[in-house]
């Protein structure tokens, strides 16, 4: 497990960017944290690192559940805040993206409960005062986290 103190949104972006540069295909990155904890900011950096796309193209798919970013690698960005239950997720076929040859980033991952693969990379973001955030990364599997 690794833990970082981010002092700004720019540092949170950079942590995501660094991670995105090292993730292999079929990685599943699960993000946990309260509203405004920095999940989408982290994903913006991760997408930029993995795809070489500008972070400005990354928007939280709160109402559509999924945005797809295609570049050097493909990133499937889920926001499950409005998801009712795991059955809704499965009925939309979203589980097929776990092995679609890209990287899955899942905000509000707790909505999937025990359905999350054991090899998922888990990112916990918590407020640490003003613009500061704790970023805790824990992994099972062969993910590079630096």
pLDDT tens-digit map of 101-129: 999 999 999 999 888 988 899 999 999 98
> Is 127 in contact with 6 (CB distance < 8 Å)?
no
In a domain, 144, yes or no: no
In a domain, 100, yes or no: yes
Phi, psi angle pair for 81, to nearest 5°: -55, -40
Give mean pLDDT, residues 66-91: 95
103-107 vs 27-32, strand pairing mode: parallel
Domains: count for the chain: 1
Does 66 fall in a domain? yes
Band (pLDDT 50/70/90 cuts) for residue 140 is low
Q: Which residues pair with 137 in a beta bridge?
A: 2, 123
Q: CA–CA distance from 111 to each of 2, 44, 84, 86, 89 (Å)?
A: 24, 21, 8, 7, 9
In a domain, 14, yes or no: yes
Whole-angstrom distance, CA of residue 20 vs CA of residue 79: 18
Question: In this structure, what CATH number is given to the domain that contains residue 105?
Answer: 3.40.50.300
User: Is residue 113 in a domain?
Assistant: yes
Residue (of 57, 46, 55, 58) closest to 22 by Cα position = 46
Predicted confidence (pLDDT) at residue 131 exceeds the cutoff of 60: yes
Residue 125: alpha-carbon gap to chain centroid = 11
Instruction: Report how far residue 75's alpha carbon sits from residue 55's, in angstroms, rounded to the nearest whole number.
Output: 12
> Which domain covers residue 27, as residue numbers?
2-133
Q: What is the pTM of this model?
A: 0.90
SS3 122: strand
Report if residue 145 sits inside a domain.
Answer: no
Domain presence at residue 141:
no
């Amino acid at each position: 497990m690794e833990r970082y103190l981010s002092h700004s949104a720019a540092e949170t972006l950079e942590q995501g960017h660094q991670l995105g540069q090292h993730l292999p295909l079929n990685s599943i990155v699960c993000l946990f944290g309260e509203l405004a904890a920095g999940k989408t900011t982290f994903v913006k950096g991760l997408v930029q690192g993995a795809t070489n796309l500008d972070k400005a193209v990354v928007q939280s798919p709160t109402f559509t559940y999924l945005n797809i970013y295609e570049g050097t690698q493909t990133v499937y960005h889920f926001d499950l805040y409005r998801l009712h239950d795991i059955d809704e997720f499965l009925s939309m076929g979203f589980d097929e993206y776990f092995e679609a040859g890209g990287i899955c980033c899942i905000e509000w991952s707790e909505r999937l409960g025990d359905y999350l693969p054991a090899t998922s990379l888990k990112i916990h973001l918590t407020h640490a005062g003003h613009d500061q955030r704790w970023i805790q990364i824990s992994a099972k599997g062969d993910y590079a986290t630096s």
